[in-house]
Copies of this chain bind each other. A is one copy, B any other.
Amino acid sequence: VFNKHPSVSPEVRERVWQIALSKHYQPCQAARTLVTRRTNMIGLIISEPITRLFTGPFFPALIQSIAEACNQHKYYLTLVLMTTNTDREALYSQTLHSGQLDGAIATSLVLDDPLLLHLQTSQLPCVLVGHHPGYPQIPSVDVDNVSGARTMTEYLISLGHRRIATITGPLNMISGQERFQGYRQALSQAGIEYDDALTAEGDYTEESGFDAMKRLLRANPTAVFAASDMMAMGAMKALAQTRWRVPEDISVAGYGDAPIATFVEPSLTTMQQVVPDLGRTAAEMLIALLNDPSVVARSQLLPTRLIVRHSTRSIA
């Protein structure tokens, strides 16, 4: 009653406030939710086997930026993680339909992710981090994977490289496919024939980059474009083991601008993706949607930028 009503005041107002504060009174969210139908809770659903989840800096940065944006707008963030032994169906329907969440941000979806259907039928407002061509109506924020990968590959070509290998991301994820696509676009635009022996699939982790590089060595590339910095670092580790020098014998390029990429010797040439922008944009998009369901959220594609460091060199 005394919560926000502008009419009650002159009388006891001040005294009530004092007492409330001193007793740490907080209105019970559950009761409030029951009538207002709002929880002020946003769920971040990371639909990825957890083993991969926190090996790179991407998710931490994403979580942080989303949490920050949520806090700023008085929302809470709850983390919905998939564990290996989680019953996904159960978790999804529970999470999405129990009314615990005002909205959801989902990320790291595979192409045929069951979450997408759940999201649709649930009618829960949501925003994707990473777009999905099969569900264009779900608003999303993403980096421009195709053009980023193309830019990097073009850069390697401009350095005189012809035998450019690639370590792709998981090809069952959009980002993996698109970066691969960008790579092929650049090759074909430069009139370089695509060679299957120069492609190896990874899963964004360092280990997968290491393994992929070992396989690629047989094809004698002069450069390699890895679809994530972690894989690029794994590749460099494999190269070091086999006494290839970077960048003298082979140029290595990554994707994502992981802070760690400045550390390795030589520091890694990479495509910058501003993860905090991704997270903040997604959160603000969702919150705008929640505050006014009539707004039509427009999906966004954030730019990437080439960062040249010391792991690539010209072979002119």
Residues of A within 8 A of B (CB): 24-31, 33-34, 39, 41, 50, 53-55, 57, 59-61, 63-64, 67-68, 71-72, 76-81, 83, 85-86, 91, 93-94, 96-100, 121-122, 206, 233, 237, 240, 259-260, 263-265
Closest partner residue, chain B, to A43 (CB atom): B76
A71–B100 touching, CB < 8 Å: no
On whether the beta carbons of B79 and A77 are closer than 8 Å, the reply is: yes
Contact B64 A26 (CB under 8 A): no
Distance, CA A260 to CA B122, complexed state (A): 40
- Given A50-B64, A57-B54, A99-B30, A24:B79 Cβ within 8 A: no
B residues near A25, Cβ cutoff 8 Å: 97
Number of copies: 2
Closest partner residue, chain B, to A77 (CB atom)? B79
Asked whether B28 lies within 8 Å of A78 as measured between CB atoms, the reply is: no
Find chain B residues with CB under 8 A from A34 CB: 28, 30-31, 34
List, in ascending order, chain B residues with CB within 8 A of A57's CB: 54
**Closest B residue to A33 using CB positions:** B30
Q: How far is the CA of A122 from the CA of B67 in the complex (A)?
A: 24
Contact A54 B60 (CB under 8 A): yes
Chain B min CB distance to A244 (Å): 15
* Contact (Cβ within 8 A) A64 B55: no
Partner of A67, one of B41, B79, B206, B263: B79
- Which residues on B sit within 8 Å (CB–CB) of A53? 60, 64
- Contacts A29-B99, A78-B76, A263-B237 given; does A71 touch B55 at CB 8 Å: no
Q: A26-B93, A28-B34, A30-B30 are in contact. Are A54 and B50 (CB under 8 A)?
A: no
The 3 A-B residue pairs whose C-beta atoms are closest, nearest first, are A54-B60, A26-B97, A30-B33
Query: A64-B81, A71-B91 in contact; A97/B24 too (CB < 8 A)?
Result: yes
Extra A-B contacts (13), CB below 8 Å, given A30-B99, A78-B78? A24-B96, A25-B97, A28-B98, A28-B99, A30-B34, A50-B64, A63-B63, A67-B83, A71-B83, A71-B86, A77-B79, A260-B263, A263-B263
Contact assessment for A72 and B78 in the assembled complex, using a CB-CB cutoff below 8 Å = no
Residue of B whose beta carbon sits closest to that of A97: B26
